[in-house]
Every structure is written in structure tokens, then in C-alpha cells.
Chain A
Amino acid sequence: MKRIYLHPLPIRIWHWVNVLGFIILILTGANIRGIVSIFSLEWAVKIHSWLGFILLANYCIWLFYYILTLKIKIYIPPLHHPVDFAKKAITQAKFYGYGIFVGDDNPHHPSPEHKFNPMQQVSYLMIMALLIPVQIITGLFLWDPKLFSFIVNPVGVQIFDAIHVFLWIFFSAFMIVHFYLATLGHTTWAHIIAMFKGYEEEEEHGHGH
């Protein structure tokens, strides 16, 4: 067994804060929309607003960490080799869609420099560079439309609400799938434990490249 230090401490903290934040935000979001009633509306809004700002700070931690350490490149697909990247992505998809069932090895073997498989790379880039910022910004707009009226007014606050709600729906589904995929390590809890400890365990023979 080989131990790879895949998740540095700041990233682990960021990740688990995010997990907690997302779950509560999704629930209070549902509460605000009136489809569950865990809290009173007033408290649901308060919690939602507080957590929104916490996750904004959290996102900044993530951003600064990855930019300052230049590790941000792990999120960026090798667009200079598009064909190669596409082939790898298909291989990865084949693994999840077929190989995994018949006992194939995961084609991707993570290392600190190549943390994500091509599918992860594309989806995490989308999420981190686009969806979360959009969710944070639209959240801010809804938090105080008047403060951002210079942009909210001409566009219309309902448009931002629609975007925010769509992403809430997306993240709700994402959280489920994300959790499920996290159980697909060499053992069910391997990836999850790694996310706490920082070290990913890998069988010695598992080198694809």
C-alpha cells in the first residue's frame, strides 16, 4: 500500500466546512421556500444569510490557497492536448459506466499534481470557477437587492432568484451523487477517510501510467 498526501490541511478544513455549509444552506433554502419548516422563516433566513457569508469566506480561502500555491492547475484540463484529454475522459466514463461493474481498475491514479480524473477536472472546474461564484453572487443580490440595485434593478431580482434556485436544485442533486462517488474508492470509506486524514491509500500495482 502506498500513501499519497493528497489533501493538505487547509483543503480538508475548506472541504468539511463546505459540506456542513451546503447541507444547512440547502435545508434552510427549502425552509425559506416553505417546503420544509424546520425553523421559523426569520431564523431560516438568518442562518441562511450567516452561512452564505461563511461559505463566501470559505471560497476565498480555497481560492487564495490554490492560487498562491499555484496548485490551481490541477483543476485545469490539459487543453493543449484536447484529443488525448477527450480519450481519457471517455475511458473514465467507460469505467464508471461499465468497468467498475466487471472489476476493472480505476484508470485514474491520483497524485498531488494530478488529483482529479478528467471528469472530475471538468465538473469541479465548472463548479468552483462558475457555479459557486454565481451562487454566491446571486445569494448576495438576494440578501440585499437594494445594496446591489445598480445591477439587480436593470436585470430584475426575479431573474437572479431563478438562477439561485436552479443552482440550489443542482447542488442538492450534486451532493447526493458526490457522496455516492466518494464511496467508490478501493473500500467504501477510503476516499472519505482520506478527506479527513489527508492521505489516500493506493494499492502498489495500481499504476496505469
Chain B
Amino acid sequence: MKTVSFNRHYVSGGVSLLSENIAKLYGKAVLMSKNPESFLACILYSIYAINLRSFWQPLTMEKFNRGAFMDNIKKLTAFLFIAFLLFPASYETVHSEISDQAKICLTCHANRGLTKTLENKEILSLFIDKDLFSQSVHKNIDCNGCHTGYMAAHVAKKKTIKSKKEYAQKASQVCSTCHPDDQLNKIPLHATLMKQGTCVECHGSHYIKSMEEWKKGLTETQYCFTCHEKAITKRLENGEILSLRVNRSAFKNSIHGNLPCSSCHPEFSKTSHPIRSFKSKNAYTAQATKACSTCHPDDQLKKSPIHGSLMAKASCVECHGSHTVRGIKVAKATADETEYCLSCHRGSLSMTMANGERLSVYVDGASLKNSAHGSLLCTACHTEFSKSQHPMRRFESIRAYKLERAKLCSKCHPDAYTQYEQSIHYTLFKAGNKNAPHCTDCHGSAHSVARTKTDKTLGLTSCNKCHAEWNSSYEASIHYSARLRGVKDAPVCSSCHNAHDIQSTKMSTQIKEGCFKCHKDMVKVHNQWLKNPPITLPTFVELHFEAVSCAACHSPGAQRVISLNMFDCKTGKPLTEEKVAQYLGTDTAGLMGKIDKNSNDVIDASELWGLFSDLISKGVWVTFSGEMDVSSSAEAHQLGAKTEATRNCETCHHPDSEYFKAVAVVMSTGDGDTTALPAESSSLQSVYSILPARKFYAIGGTNINLFDLLFYLALIGGLAVPIGHIAARIIFSPIRSLRKMGKGGKKK
């Protein structure tokens, strides 16, 4: 700048010193934009430059001598003050010494929320940390320098990126523009790695440091972590993906935290990084654990019989983990049993089943303490184990293990377990139904078993895990509204269905027992109005209770259905669909077709008789036991208030009752459910149904129509006798009079 040199030329003494210093500081500020001191100088210089003309003129010696100097000092101070005020705002702009183009890009890309959704739905963050970038060795390079072609595409908005991986690969290709491959290949360690990964996977992208910082002063462990801290992976021969990432802090806290990586990975060092290939994770584990014996010789490890037997079955890392190995300091003599077991089992241990499933054998000490089992010793349940014994067991699958384990519960809870063995859940469980619950499925893991005595919530939440579809109808019931009101003992699922001996409610009156648990003396209560004079007997109520479900009367607005449940009289048990199909020589799918001979999709009276006589001829003493219930399980749950119940006899007991319109022939499916085949409502009133449904009698609903016809015929017949007889007497009356006159009315 011409003015500067001019100024320099004329100014001398203190003033010249000042201007020189400013120039120096400016130069420094350009180099070290981060330094606030030089930054301030930069501002000062700017002010100086802007006011140069007015500044140097007054500062000439004559003017100085004329006593104008003090005015200028005032001026300068004012400028300094303004500069001081401006400093925080201007600092930011001058501080990042990055290219102008980068600044433009960063106006958007400094936004943390900026992302792009890739074609494979991955989310790629487009955020660039300005501070970190400005420390990078690439800070002076224009964005376009690496992102070639992106700018243009950016404007056209047509850049598509398949995946992060693909993006990383493409982005890495640009590196060779400045870092040619042959140069990089000269470094042996680097050459091997280059074949495996892309540049950015190890070096990063926007925050690349200089090579000096990259390597110098690094310990071996730190050196390895420069790459292995990142989420790098390796694809094994069988397609498994092996993570090569090591959590630095977890490793540091592990008992091996002070060992260099090469202690266990001897093939690797700062200068050597062979490329290896493994068939599978298991193969890799086997190879990797060989290193353990370097420091922990087998004979030493086998001293403990427990450990010895475990070693035979599992590799070191399966129990101890790899980079997170923790010290196990067990004071065998003093540790109590639970502590002793937890010394291993509070770690991330797992066992492998024969089918390859892995079961965690980790136990959370804290939740164990808080659980209902908190005060028990481990051996209370795990009897085969002790401080001196640790048998190695092998199970086919997690399911097989669960079956075995369930028996543990029965040791202390024999009653609950015996009840459970009678439940539909157990039947299904034994049959191999994978969804059928066992003890822990409802109560939670054995090591965090909830206390159920005081809190009934479990009886709702655990059921809802599988039976959530009924929850909304339960929530519509008076039971739930009572629960909401905070009524003590307001029923949840288990209140009616029981907790352990849960039975199928289909084709049984068992669920009534659930109602009666809370609704005591129901026979007496109903007997007040449900009775047949002259003697009030509880049996009359019981009779109704047998044939009518509680919900049939107490679920307002429900649709009722008459179920003709097929029972085997010999065994007293429900007939299963499979058996019926088998007897009829068909399968369950073809059953309806076989029964419904006229194929109108509904069983009429003669078809019912056909089914009955077919089964009787096969030696099956079948009976169709009638029962009135609501048409769906949802309706069974939305029970209403007492006042909403049906109480009028004629509602049911009428030949045209709405309640008798829907009829179904019902068979058990064997797994607690039922199949209902629709039947004609008139079939109940047909002579055909007398024998099949001989045990089902409801005044009105099961009136046999033919009998009414017979009644009319009998009346006609009864009247015909006197009418005929009288007619004959009238016809014969002349003869009678004749004889009376002729023979004196006397015969013989």
C-alpha cells in the first residue's frame, strides 16, 4: 500500500514505532486468526488504514509541534473504544481462516440439523463443525477441491447417494488426487489397510489432522485406537459381520487396560497389520482366545473345578468378554453365596444352547435384591450349584431350558405350580406352543420376580401381553370403572380367570366360579326372584346358572347365542373337532361340508339329526348340550351394572325370543378354543332335536312344534267322539222309540 510506505517514511519516533507494531500484528493475525490479541491488532490496523489520510496528516511533525497531537490521541482513543465494542462480533468472522468458498458452504452446513436421507433410508448428517474444520490440515482447500462436481449437482439438486458406504467410497477416491496410491502403498501397514477400507473410515473427512499429530507420540494402544475406536467392521467368510470397534473407555477400565494391544494380538503392531480371513465369528473367537493362555496357563485355571468344567464347554471370551475383562476378586472364604455367584454372573455371561441360541446368564444384583426373591440364596433355587459345584449343563434350546427351569418354581410354590399344571397355559406350553406362558413370562424373570401379594396390576399387565384384544371391552365394564374409582379389590383378569389354574372358558361353566369369588351368595340373591313355586329351592337357580352364562344377562346389549356344545356322554368331555371329523371320515376343513348336506351353510334340524345318528352309529354317545352365552368374548368382558341385567322370564322363555335366534353347533378345538358351526334356530323346535339335544330344555325356546299340532288333533278327535256318538243317537232315535213302544222298552 502506497500510503503505508509514505507514512512510514515520514513518521518517526513513538508514532513510527506504533505503526510498525500494528503492521507486524496484522501479519500475525493473518497467520493466527485464533489469537485474540493479534485479532485486535488486525482491527486496529483496519481502523488505521481507513483513517489513514486524516491520520498521518495531523501526525506530521509540524502539526505535532502545533500542539494538535493531543486532539489526535483523543481521536485514537475513541476509535479504540469502538473497536473494543466491535471486537466480539468481528472476532468470529476473522477467526476462521478458511476459504471463502467454504464460508459460503458453511452458511448452510454449519447447521447441525442438516441431513440427507439416502436411497437406502440411511440418514447422512451434512453438518460440518466449523471449529474443527478450521483446525484440519485441509482447512485451506476449497470444498470443491474434494467434493468435485458436487457443487454443480448441488445447484441442480439431482445428486443421489445410495448409501453411506457408497458415499464414503466415492469421497475417498478424491483423496488420491493429492495422495497418489503408489506413494501411500510404500508404507507397508498402510498398503494392507488400503485394500480393506476407504480413506475416510480411518482418517475421517473434514477434520483430518496432520501426519505429525496423527502418529507422533502415540503409544501402541492409542495408535490402534485411531482406527479401532471407529465403527469399522469386517465381513467374514460365512457372511457374518464382525465389529472391529473397541470401546476405549471400557477397555481402559478393564483389568487389561494397561496392556498394549499386541500383548493379546501379537501379530499386530504399529508397523504390522496382517490381513486375516476367518470362516465365522466362532472360528475367530477360538483363535483369539489362544492368547489368553499366554498369561493364564490352563493348569492354573483348571485348579478350580468349577472353572475347569466351564472351560471344557466355553471359550474364555464367552464368559469374560474380550476388551472389557474385569477382575474377579473373590474372597472365597468370606463372600456369601449370592455375592460369590454374582462375582461372575453380574458380568455379561451367556450360555450357548445346542441349537445355537444364546441365553444370557447375567443377573442384575440390584433388581434381585429388590425382587420377591431378594432374601433367598442362589442355591435355594439352583440346587445343583454351590460355591464348590458348578455342573456344566447342555440344553437343546432356550425353550427346553425354560421347561427344566419351571420346575424350580414348584419347589417353593407347589400349590401354584399344581394349579398351573391344570391350566390351559400349561396344556399349550406342553404341546410346544411357543407363545404359551410359563411362570416367568407373567411374573418376570426369576431374578426380578415382582411381589404380587399387594399389587394386582400384574394380573392385568401380564395378561395384556398376549390378550390385549380384550382390554378395551374390559375397560368398558363396571369392573374397570370400579378400578378407576379406586375400589379395593376391583377385579382384574386374574380375579375372575384365576392366576394359575386358568381354564378355557369355552364349553364350561368354570368362569362362573370366578364371578362367585367376589359375588357371594349369588344363588340366594337370584333365588329371591328366580324361583318356581310352591317351594323356593336353590336348585332352580343353579339350573339356570348351568345353562346361562353370567354375561348373557349381565352384559347389556350383547347379542346372545345358543351354543349346542358337543359332549361325549361316556367321558363327559367336549368332543374335539378333529375327532368328529375323524369319525365322519373327513378333515376339519371338510367338516361343515360333510354335516351341511344341502350346502346352504347352515345346519338344519335334519342335518343335526344326521350328525347325531352318524356319530351314534360309530359308537360315540354324543349329546348337544345347550348353553346360552354372549356371542363374543368382548361382550363377555363389558359387564354392566346390576340394574342393566335382564330379569324378565319371557325375554328368554318365549317361542319367538330374540335370544334363541342365533344357534350354533360347537366343538372344542383341543387347544382351549372352539369352532362354532351356524345352525338354524328352528332346529331347536324340531322333533329331530329331541334326542340329539335331549339335555337341553328351555320353555319357549325348545318347544317341539309338532306336539302343538298333535294337541289340536287330539282336541278335534276328542270332540269328534261325542259329536259322532250324538249324531248316531239322533239317527237311531226312531228305532229306539219304536222299540220302546213295541216291546215296552225292554230287551232280553
Are A157's CB and B694's CB within 8 A?
Answer: yes
Contact with A along B704-736 (1 / 0, CB 8 A): 100110110011011101100100110110011
- Of residues 159 through 209 on chain A, the ones whose CB sits less than 8 Å from some CB of chain B are 159, 161-162, 165-166, 168-170, 172-177, 179-180, 205
Q: Which of B540, B696, B732 contacts A146 (CB 8 A)?
A: B540
Distance to closest chain B CB from A203 (angstroms): 10
Q: Which of B694, B708, B722 contacts A35 (CB 8 A)?
A: B708
Total CB contacts across the A-B interface at under 8 A: 131
B555 within 8 A of A: no
Distance to closest chain A CB from B700 (angstroms): 6
B725 proximity list for chain A (CB < 8 A): 96, 180
Give A41 to B729 CA distance when docked, in angstroms.
43
Are B714's CB and A170's CB within 8 A?
Answer: yes
Q: Which of A34, A49, A103, A180 contacts B700 (CB 8 A)?
A: A34
Are B736's CB and A101's CB within 8 A?
Answer: yes
- Of residues 173 through 222 on chain B, the ones whose CB sits less than 8 Å from some CB of chain A are none
Are A45's CB and B699's CB within 8 A?
Answer: yes
A153 within 8 A of B: yes
Are B537's CB and A33's CB within 8 A?
Answer: no
Give A170 to B714 CA distance when docked, in angstroms.
7
Give A42 to B735 CA distance when docked, in angstroms.
55
A123 within 8 A of B: no
- Of residues 510 through 550 on chain B, the ones whose CB sits less than 8 Å from some CB of chain A are 532-534, 537, 539-540, 542-543, 546
Are B722's CB and A176's CB within 8 A?
Answer: yes
Give A169 to B717 CA distance when docked, in angstroms.
11
B689 proximity list for chain A (CB < 8 A): 158
Interface residue total, chain A, C-beta cutoff 8 A: 49
Q: Which of B653, B697, B745 contacts A158 (CB 8 A)?
A: B697
Give A157 to B695 CA distance when docked, in angstroms.
5
Known: A147-B539, A175-B718. A33 touches B649 (CB 8 A): no
Are B694's CB and A102's CB within 8 A?
Answer: no
B747 within 8 A of A: yes
B649 proximity list for chain A (CB < 8 A): 41-42, 45
Give A96 to B178 CA distance when docked, in angstroms.
137
Are A157's CB and B532's CB within 8 A?
Answer: no
B248 proximity list for chain A (CB < 8 A): none
Are A176's CB and B703's CB within 8 A?
Answer: no
Known: A45-B699, A147-B539. A103 touches B739 (CB 8 A): yes
Given contacts A42-B650, A46-B532, A147-B539, 10 further A-B contacts (CB under 8 A): A33-B708, A41-B650, A41-B653, A101-B731, A101-B735, A101-B736, A103-B735, A157-B696, A158-B694, A158-B697
Interface residues of A (CB under 8 A from B): 30, 32-35, 40-42, 45-46, 49-50, 53, 96, 100-105, 142-147, 149, 153, 155-159, 161-162, 165-166, 168-170, 172-177, 179-180, 205
28 example contacts (A-B, Cβ-Cβ < 8 A) are as follows A34-B655, A35-B708, A35-B711, A41-B699, A42-B649, A46-B533, A49-B532, A50-B534, A101-B736, A102-B735, A103-B736, A103-B745, A104-B747, A105-B747, A144-B540, A144-B543, A145-B697, A146-B539, A146-B540, A146-B543, A146-B546, A158-B689, A158-B691, A158-B693, A162-B690, A162-B707, A169-B711, A180-B725
